[in-house]
Structure 1
């Protein structure tokens, strides 16, 4: 997939000023895409990513600010990208939030924030992207999930995050079914622990976390024209991890 040509595509990755989102976006810049670096509060980091994207071969690069949990803000994000780069061809819903506290101790505000950021943000951005994708009969939506969240094999301290990510995976399948008659595919990538994590648990498979390349490879697979029949799928990038039930 190193020869994948994205020079005629516009890519928006939410939360791409740092971490996983940054690496996913830069992998498309490497292949000539026009890229939109989305951020909420990290303006300086986003500008640095846009500069690097240009250096690495992006046709064009811009930064765009917005809150993916707010419908008006999401509309503003897409309007800005459309005005400068054209309609979004590839949307990667990467923004997420986490609350490492036992679910019974989590305040409603925190619970709601985690669901809004992970699930509502995916819904709002996908809904805004779809009309142009349908009109152009082409689109790629890739959602970032979490390994094994759909199986219910989770720890109670991760409760709202797993609930939200399970919803993201169900949304992925339902949206794929709703777009099966056109040139749009909807898929998900679900990592366990990634190399930029602050802490590494003892049960890491293969004695290492997932590298950024481990996540980039399935993204590029989904974007490859030869993968246009694959939709509604979830690739778990977890090294074979199976968590214990609690």
Structure 2
């Protein structure tokens, strides 16, 4: 799939050592971006992704460790990327845990972790990215949402994930409105069940889970420098 030319840009994808994050980071490497592979605990996997990104044409690659739910750690993530690759032009907020159990079976620690990784992580990383994006009068922020939250569906399972992703979508729209005059766009990709999911419902759109490749097309559209009019979607 041919993507936009962003060879003059730095891209940071949170949680890009595995799964969806890995696929999205490598897609941006294919576009020539300087890429930052973020991880929390998966150092070896992150190094492998970094090597893959170099082989796919990324002119510069760095790995960066940090906890996206901690403000000081987030500042450290961005400071490292800025020192190694330059200020972040493209931010993909991918990190987000889930808990596919009935809400009454989930303890507060689990509930809080799901909200923090999905919603607070998106908030903290976006807030840290904005000053340099505003200064450059350019930026692309892409958040990972969830189709069921987008459509207002409900389920007795995975309560905190639904709640967190609904918050991510509202945050996306509010941040888009706040940055509409700054040369920054803020959008979300909201898949349903993706190929790396542990469980699959009996009925799926198009009778299959979304592949990683299904997410790359929307990513390319949202990060394209020419997509300057679309924000909050």
Flag whether TM exceeds 0.5 (same fold): yes
- Aligned residue number for residue 157 of structure 2: 157
Select between 80-89 and 148-157 the one with higher mean Cα deviation.
148-157
Residues in 1 aligned to 2:116 and 2:4: alpha-carbon distance in whole angstroms: 34
Q: CA deviation at 1:108?
A: 1.0
Q: CA deviation at 1:151?
A: 3.5
1:13-92 equivalence runs, <5 A: 13-92=13-92
1:120-135 equivalence runs, <5 A: 120-135=120-135
* Secondary structure, aligned partner of 1:48: helix
- Aligned residue number for residue 244 of structure 1: none
Residues in 1 aligned to 2:11 and 2:20: alpha-carbon distance in whole angstroms: 15
Residues in 2 aligned to 1:28 and 1:86: alpha-carbon distance in whole angstroms: 16
Residues in 2 aligned to 1:224 and 1:150: alpha-carbon distance in whole angstroms: 23
Q: CA deviation at 1:207?
A: 1.5
Residues in 2 aligned to 1:151 and 1:28: alpha-carbon distance in whole angstroms: 28
- Aligned residue number for residue 217 of structure 1: 217
Q: TM-score, normalised by structure 2?
A: 0.98
Q: CA deviation at 1:3?
A: 5.2
- Aligned residue number for residue 230 of structure 1: 230
Q: TM-score, normalised by structure 1?
A: 0.93
Tell me, yes or no, if structure 1 residue 106 matches structure 2 residue 110.
Answer: no
Q: Is the CA contact 2:150–2:190 (under 8 Å) kept in the aligned structure 1?
A: no
Residues in 2 aligned to 1:153 and 1:172: alpha-carbon distance in whole angstroms: 19
Render the CA deviation track for 1:43-74: whole Å, top value 9, x for unaligned. 00000000000000001111000000000000
Tell me, yes or no, if structure 1 residue 196 matches structure 2 residue 196.
Answer: yes
* Secondary structure, aligned partner of 1:16: coil
* Secondary structure, aligned partner of 2:62: strand
| 5+ residue gaps, structure 2 | none
Residues in 2 aligned to 1:167 and 1:196: alpha-carbon distance in whole angstroms: 23
Residues in 2 aligned to 1:83 and 1:223: alpha-carbon distance in whole angstroms: 22
Report how many aligned residue pairs link the two structures.
233
- Aligned residue number for residue 146 of structure 1: 146
Render the CA deviation track for 1:105-160: whole Å, top value 9, x for unaligned. 21111111110010000000000000000000000000001112144312111111
Change (3 A) 1:220 1:18: same
Q: CA deviation at 1:226?
A: 2.3
Residues in 2 aligned to 1:104 and 1:26: alpha-carbon distance in whole angstroms: 38
| 5+ residue gaps, structure 1 | 234-246
